[in-house]
């Protein structure tokens, strides 16, 4: 209940931001931050709770983005069902990859490697296939109407992505409290032991993969509606895969708020680097890579873990004093 209250509070505070902040630059920054947080929450379900580290979540992001764009541009489908179809297709790709890899018993390094390879195969296909616009990419027509899922104001886009993030927070919360979540965490902690106790680990992992893929695909669908353009590098490139895993790991892996906290920190650091050293290619990723190594070295449970430890360190001496006094 306390957690649910926290989710409502955080979402309410974030929802109030556009009422105070009118700057388009700031709102744009926050929209991108929430987009990355959503992609990261997808990774967090599988990687954070299930311990299956995917290096290719761009496969789902890109599928959602392309499906939303292609259905509208080539098949004249309305943006709303196209958005939903993008999520469903992303989940389907997750199911296929999961069914293949988990049935084959791939774990750890092998799982990371094969997810990376799938994203790369999709990237190459998308860069040559005519349906994706090959090297040119796909443009979605500007049509600023609610029915076309495009909004006049950035604030509306912001509230829309915030709603998606809110749903993803609720999903993570529900998983944490469910039997499925307990099984998933058991798989992360010791897969063989979980199996020995009768947990159908393949099915649990597959379930997590599908939910994870659907959430990350949703961020891809939103990307298309917000930027109205997608190409193979953006959709299936390594950058998205890295950002999706970076945010939960920095924020706190396997926690409800980890991806959101991580996305805020990562995006803020990226902006700060731009201000200090000028906007140059590669700069933000240098910062991300360094932060990733530092967090693993010094804060393995992420920033949320750090805060947690600090709070306990403060609380403990206080208690001792109380006993002595």
Partner 1 sequence: MLSPVILITAILNGLLTGAVYALVALGLTLIYGVLHIINFAHGALLSAAMFAAFFSFTLLRLDPYLAVFVVTPAFFLLGYLLQRFVIGPTSRGDDRNMLLVTLGLSVVIENVLLYSFRADTRTIDVPYAFETLDLGFTFLPIPRLIGFGVVFLVALALWALMRFTDVGKAIRAVAKEKLGAQLSGIDVAHVYAMTFGLGTACVAIAACLLMPSYYVNPTVGNAFVLIAFTIVVLGGMGSVPGALIGGFVIGVVESLSGLFLGESLGQIGIFLIFIAVLLVRPTGLFGAKA
126, 233 contact by CB (below 8 A): no
Nearest-approach distance from CB 141 to partner 1, in angstroms? 29
Nearest-approach distance from CB 63 to partner 1, in angstroms? 17
Nearest to 72 by CA among 142, 162, 159: 142
302, 248 contact by CB (below 8 A): yes
Nearer to partner 1, 38 or 245 (CB): 245
Nearer to partner 1, 159 or 288 (CB): 288
187, 204 contact by CB (below 8 A): yes
284, 270 contact by CB (below 8 A): yes
Dihedral sign of CA atoms 151, 154, 155, 158 in order: positive
Nearest to 246 by CA among 282, 279, 290: 290
Nearer to partner 1, 144 or 272 (CB): 272
Nearer to partner 1, 144 or 193 (CB): 193
Nearest-approach distance from CB 279 to partner 1, in angstroms? 11
Nearest-approach distance from CB 315 to partner 1, in angstroms? 26
Contact positions toward partner 1, by CB under 8 A?
Answer: 51, 53, 55, 100-101, 104-106, 108-110, 112-114, 117-118, 120-121, 124-125, 127-128, 238, 242, 245, 249, 280-283, 285-286, 288-290, 292-294, 296-297, 300
Nearer to partner 1, 161 or 253 (CB): 253
> Read out DSSP for 71-115?
HHHHH---HHHHHHHHHHHHHHHHHHHHHHHHHTT--HHHHHHHH
Nearest-approach distance from CB 137 to partner 1, in angstroms? 16
138: left (phi over 0), alpha (psi -120 to 50) or beta: beta
How far apart, in Å, are the Cα atoms of 321 and each of 131, 314, 317? 69, 12, 6
Task: Compute the distance between CA of residue 192 and CA of residue 114 in angstroms, rounded to an integer.
Answer: 21
Nearest-approach distance from CB 74 to partner 1, in angstroms? 22
Task: Compute the distance between CA of residue 151 and CA of residue 157 in angstroms, rounded to an integer.
Answer: 6
Nearest-approach distance from CB 108 to partner 1, in angstroms? 5
Nearer to partner 1, 143 or 189 (CB): 189
- What the block records as the tokens of 300 is 């393995």
Nearer to partner 1, 228 or 238 (CB): 238
Nearest-approach distance from CB 22 to partner 1, in angstroms? 34
- What the block records as the tokens of 5 is 């209250």
Nearer to partner 1, 87 or 246 (CB): 246
- What the block records as the tokens of 43 is 């990774």
Task: Compute the distance between CA of residue 13 and CA of residue 1 in angstroms, rounded to an integer.
Answer: 18
């Amino acid at each position: 209940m306390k957690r649910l209250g926290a989710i409502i509070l955080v979402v309410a505070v974030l929802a109030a931001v556009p009422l105070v902040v009118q700057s388009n630059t700031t709102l744009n920054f926050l929209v991108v931050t929430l987009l990355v947080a959503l992609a990261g929450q997808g990774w967090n379900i599988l990687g954070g709770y299930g311990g299956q580290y995917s290096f290719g979540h761009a496969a789902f992001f890109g599928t959602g983005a392309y499906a939303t764009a292609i259905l509208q541009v080539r098949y004249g489908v309305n943006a709303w069902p196209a958005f939903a179809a993008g999520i469903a297709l992303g989940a389907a790709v997750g199911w296929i990859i999961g069914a293949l890899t988990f049935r084959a018993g791939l774990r750890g390094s092998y799982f990371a490697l094969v997810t990376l390879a799938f994203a790369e195969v999709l990237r190459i296909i998308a860069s040559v296939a005519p349906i994706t616009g090959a090297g040119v990419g796909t443009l979605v027509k500007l049509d600023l109407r609610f029915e076309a899922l495009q909004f006049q104001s950035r604030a509306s886009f912001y509230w829309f992505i915030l709603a998606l993030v809110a749903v993803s927070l609720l999903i993570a919360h529900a998983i944490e409290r469910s039997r499925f979540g307990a099984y998933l965490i058991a798989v992360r902690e010791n897969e063989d032991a979980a199996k020995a106790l009768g947990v159908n680990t393949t099915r649990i992992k597959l379930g997590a993969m599908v939910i994870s893929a659907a959430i990350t695909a949703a961020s891809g669908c939103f990307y298309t509606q917000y930027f109205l353009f997608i190409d193979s590098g953006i959709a299936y490139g390594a950058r998205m895969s890295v950002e999706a895993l970076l945010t939960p790991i920095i924020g706190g892996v396997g926690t409800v708020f980890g991806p959101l906290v991580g996305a805020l920190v990562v995006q803020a650091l990226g902006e700060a680097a731009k201000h200090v050293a000028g906007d140059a290619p590669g700069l933000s990723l240098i910062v991300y890579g360094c932060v990733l190594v530092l967090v693993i070295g010094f804060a393995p449970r992420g920033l949320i873990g750090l805060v947690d430890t600090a709070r306990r360190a403060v609380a403990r001496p206080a208690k001792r004093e109380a006993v002595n006094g």
